[in-house]
Amino acid sequence: MTRVKRRHSLTPQIPGHIYLWLAILIFGASSAVTRKLTEIGANHLIGDRNPISLCNVLFVGNLCALIVMIPIYWRQWKPGNLRQLSKTDWISLTAVAILSGALAPGLFFQALAIAPVNNIVLIGRLEPPLTLAFSVWLLRERVTKWEIGGAIAAFIGVSLTILLQPPSEVIMNMGSLKLGLGEILTAIGALVASVSTIIGKKYLSQIPLGIYNIFRTALGTVIFFCIALKIYGREHFMDVSSPFLWQWMLVYGAVIVVLGQSFWIKGLRTATVSTASLIGSFTPIVSIIGAFLVLNEVPTMPQYIGGSLILVGIFLSQLGIGRQTQSAIASGKSSSTQMQQQIEADMGFKGI
């Protein structure tokens, strides 16, 4: 018996930050992989339809995410836990599911269809400064000068990314200013996601993480499906059972969703919050590298300029977030759900 215990204690344990880095590598590549899959589908049309449409990828990908989450979190869905939730809790959970489970990913996926991946990655960095501004304005949160400086630098970087380069092919005229529709959809998606984070901070910080994640993903998927049916019609999902779609979705679901989500959850359980936040901040860098390797999308000079300022903003923000996280944990005011909301707001789009 002693020998068995000794062998078990000698078994090397994988540190939590390794799981987080693996998850970030997967999530960072998700935008480029999603675009690549739609290009593959465009070369294998069924009739005049792309079987690997972005709507199909999002819908099936979320179903795969649920398959991962349910075995991990099902114990939290006990009748006793559910009875403890108030009417306000359920309303807030529903609002978050609509905003961050349906509208925000739908906007990001639509933007992926018409704008360069690097633009979407960089403009999506509007979410952290917007969340910070809303937190100060609506929640009266105290922030450090580092976070304020980081938010300003990131906002300027995003603005330069938009203004210093010609808009993508699909444009919207706003007086003398012409902006790409994909860039606008990304900015709106970042705004929607930040509002969802604020609602979560205000009303859902004590909700068990499993209830929060499963309810948001499940209801968000249903709502997205209903909205897409209303906008595009039933024929838009005609190929959702196509063997060609599922052939590729097994790759997307297994790698981006199942492995990525599993690594992320495992890492969050064993790593410190400050470590998770720091590693998550590298998502845009990984995304840009992924766009180059998968799509051969080379960053433009405006993207270099804007991206450099955004990286400065991330660095400054991490200095402030690290100090706030330590004080929050020391005072016992933080929860796993609240910390996940904050970290994922800083990460941006991650494929589901």
Tell me the pLDDT tens digit for each residue of 22-70.
989 998 888 899 899 989 998 988 888 888 888 888 888 888 888 888 8
Select the highest-mean-pLDDT range: 12-26, 189-203, 325-339. Answer: 189-203
Quickly state the pLDDT bin for 4 (edges 50, 70, 90). very low
Contact between 216 and 93 (Cβ < 8 Å): yes
Q: Which two tokens stand for residue 109?
A: 């996926």
Q: Which residues, in sequence order, are bridge partners of residue 173?
A: 178
Q: Which two tokens stand for residue 251?
A: 């790759």
Is 73 within the bounds of a domain? yes
At residue 6, the pLDDT reads: 46
Average pLDDT, the chain: 83
Is 175 within the bounds of a domain? yes
Is 298 within the bounds of a domain? yes
Is 306 within the bounds of a domain? yes
Task: Round to whole Å and give the CA distance between 247 and 211.
Answer: 31
At residue 1, the pLDDT reads: 47
- How many structural domains are present in the chain? 1
At residue 173, the pLDDT reads: 59
At residue 7, the pLDDT reads: 44
Is 137 within the bounds of a domain? yes
Nearest to 349 by CA among 168, 135, 100, 150: 100
Task: Round to whole Å and give the CA distance between 260 and 265.
Answer: 9
Sign of CA dihedral 152, 318, 326, 275: positive
Other CB atoms closer than 10 Å to residue 259's CB: what's the count? 15
Is 352 within the bounds of a domain? no
Domain range enclosing 25: 15-39+49-347
Q: What is the pTM of this model?
A: 0.85
pLDDT tens figures, 203-229: 988 888 889 989 999 999 999 999 988
Sign of CA dihedral 95, 144, 147, 348: negative
The H or E element that residue 203 is part of is helix 181-203
Is 4 within the bounds of a domain? no
Does pLDDT of 11 surpass 90? no
Please state the rounded mean pLDDT for residues 155-170.
81
At residue 92, the pLDDT reads: 95
Is 30 within the bounds of a domain? yes
